[in-house]
Structure 1
Amino acid sequence: MKSSRLLSILLLLQTRGRMTAAELAAELEVSPRTVYRDVESLHAAGVPLYGDAGHSGGYRLLAGYRTRLTGLNAGEAEALFLSGAPGPAAELGLGPALAAAQLKLRAALPPELREQADRMRTRFHLDAPGWYAADTEVPYLPQVADAVWHGRVLNVRYRRWKEPTDVDRRLEPYGLVLKAGRWYAVAGPGPRTYRVDQILHLTVDDETFEVPADFDLAEHWRRHQEDFHARLHAGEAEVRLSPRGAERLSGAAARALEATGVAEADGRRRAVLPIESLDQAHAFFLSLGADVEVLAPPQLRSMLASTARTLAAAYGSP
């Protein structure tokens, strides 16, 4: 809607300063001609918005002009209160700041939006960790967050999964990511990813650093996840699944079944599924019991057959 777009132009100029018509058009996914018309509408409404010509020109607001949050619609107001995750904020030491910010935001909303935002906050609660994940102590999270914010170098004692397990590292923390209830620090040089709960000791160095200008935390994390899953599922297994076995698949296995599954005359489906390792696949396919038959690789099939014989002997006649 035009009214929403006009407010977006005001907020973009208020937060970013001078922007060209082309930059505004790209941000709003409209044509520059539409931006020109919107600017004329803002002028007509008395908004102190003016443009500079030339190579370094663009639109900007008169110094000191600020708009308010009264342009929020109901969905936007609800989303803002739903996005304020109190658990992670408290872990970062920002619990009081989040509460104060929400109080100020609530006070700025019109009464009808305030009521809807309050309803959203009382009826929806976000709890990201899985059911069986124990609460993990992250004693150094506030210090890491402070180093991220102020660009300070960290010297840490870090515990990793391979030998030698405890190592010393100099980190330039570029950012923090919360994934499935665990905090990860993305830090240079590299950058590489570190679990914050595996930091055994930490000191803050007087040295500072600059995050590379071309570093994008969200894009880096997306690539990191893609690489992780590619390394995680390095092998494949050809299987036949009953309808019940197919229903019990999830994640990458379910997607592979959808992509490669072929129905057979007896109602089973033949497919090629990704596996992490022979041991992991052995344990997983055993959990499916008679609802799966592994056809390949031969070593995995042999491992399952051996376990089946052992189980048959154990559960045979007394």
Structure 2
Amino acid sequence: MRADRLVKLVLLLRHHKMLSATALAAELEVSPRTVLRDVEALSTAGVPVYAERGRNGGFALLPGFQTELTGLNHDEALALLIAGSRRGAQVFGLGSALASAMLKVADALPESYRHTAAGKARRLLIDPDTDLLERRTTAEEIPDALVTEIRRAVFNGHKLRINYTAKNQKPQWRTIDPIGLVTVKDQGYLLATKDGADRTYRLSRIKAAEELDCPANRPEHVDLGKAWQDRGTRFRTGGEQTTVTLRLDPAKRSQLLDTALTVTTEDDRLTATFQDAWHAEWALWQLGTSAEALSPQWLRTKLRDRAAAIVTRYG
């Protein structure tokens, strides 16, 4: 841990030119006294760190102390810098590691690219925390320790014991063979097999995990993209699908397409297929008065009862 901290300290000084002991302590999440000991250790090791005294003083490196990453063009340098803003790493518990890695990348860029690429990167915002209506778009919050345990089992090829809460069920322990991790729209999933059958687990529903000291029963090589696509196909075509006939404001058609499995048009009516009854009811409720479910009757009844409950509450 200390070796990583010393490297980060050097990179911080390279990036900021000069920082006080207090600022370094905040960045490194240690005490100022620890920073002073680390600076002394770097000096003893031959790293040219010096102290500038005074109100605006701090620690700095002698000019010219760096290792460059050569062979990059401007677009490649820019791509590396903006990659650090992607939130998939946060879903997999790698947020701090990514931040540290991007600091190293920025420090290693050739001098001619570092400032121009950083300036351009500031004009690109990837996946902000809210949309224009101030609705939160942050990734699911999953404890780093939990994701680390899952990730370790995936990478080591070991069986994994998880405490999982399936929808409308109580938490249950199960032993699985992990295959890979996937993130979609800031939601993390664990692809695995259980007793030879494909399983997909939502990371946010895993309450505890334990890597087991025995090899997972899984193929040596995997095409994770194809595995995800195959599971998506089975999800869309499996289960007790529900078909709904409805009228819809044309302006809301794209919203319906985002939730339905299929949509067909006949005259002024649409026929939409949903994964199950719950998804059908949820999708039609989200459309509000822009849609009218014509059939099945049970869906009309459920939507009417929902609306009546709202009227009763606010009437």
- The answer to whether residue 189 in structure 2 is matched with residue 184 in structure 1 is yes
Instruction: Provide the C-alpha distance between the structure 1 equivalents of 2:74 and 2:226, rounded to a whole number of angstroms.
Output: 30
Alignment correspondent of 2:127:
127
Matched to 1:169, the amino acid is R
Amino acid corresponding to residue 76 of structure 2 in structure 1: E
Report which stretch shifted further, 152-161 or 100-109: 100-109
Q: Contact (CA 8 Å) 1:252, 1:274: kept in 2 or not? A: no
Shift of 1:310: 5.5
Equivalence for 2:272: 273
Instruction: Give the AA of the match of 1:281.
Output: A
Q: Which residue of 1 aligns with 2:243?
A: 236
**CA–CA distance in 1 between the matches of 2:306 and 2:87?**
46
Shift of 1:251: 0.9
Q: Aligned pair in 2 of structure 1 residues 107, 293: CA closer, same or farther (>3 Å)?
A: closer
Q: Distance between the aligned counterparts of 1:217 and 1:96, measured in 2?
A: 25
Closer/same/farther in 2, CA of residues 225 and 298 from structure 1, 3 Å limit: same
1:261 alignment partner in structure 2: 265
Q: SS at the partner of 1:300? A: helix
Inter-partner Cα distance in structure 2 for 1:277 and 1:119: 49
Partner of 1:101: 101
Q: How far is the alpha carbon of 1:212 from its aligned partner?
A: 0.8
- Classify the secondary structure of the residue corresponding to 1:127: coil
Q: Secondary structure at the match of 1:123?
A: coil
Q: CA offset at residue 140 of structure 1?
A: 0.7
Output the aligned Cα RMSD. Answer: 4.0
Partner amino acid, structure 1, of 2:78: E
1:136 to 2:128 alignment = no
In the alignment, the residues of structure 1 paired with residue 88 and residue 225 of structure 2 have an alpha-carbon distance, to the nearest angstrom, of 18
Query: Partners in 1 of 2:141 and 2:297 — Cα distance?
Result: 40
Residue number among 188, 195, 204 corresponding to 1:197 in the alignment = 204
Q: Structure 2 vs 1, CA of residues 167 and 314 (structure 1 numbering), >3 Å: closer, same or farther? A: closer
Q: Which of 214, 224, 233 is matched with 1:217 structurally?
A: 224
Give the structure 2 partner of residue 51 of structure 1: none
2:156 counterpart residue number: 150
Q: CA deviation at 1:93?
A: 5.5
Q: 2:117 matched to which residue of 1?
A: 117
TM (normalized to structure 2)?
0.59
Q: 2 CA distance for matches of 1:308 and 1:94? A: 42
Structure 1 unaligned blocks of 5 or more: 1-67
- 1:92-121: CA deviations, max 9, x gaps? 554554344334433443444333431344
Q: Distance in 2 between matches of 1:92 and 1:287?
A: 30
Distance (Å, rounded) in 2 between the aligned partners of 1:292 and 1:140: 42
Per-residue CA shift, 1:114-138, capped at 9, x if unaligned?
3343134423343377845675333
In structure 1, what is the equivalent of residue 296 of structure 2?
Answer: 297
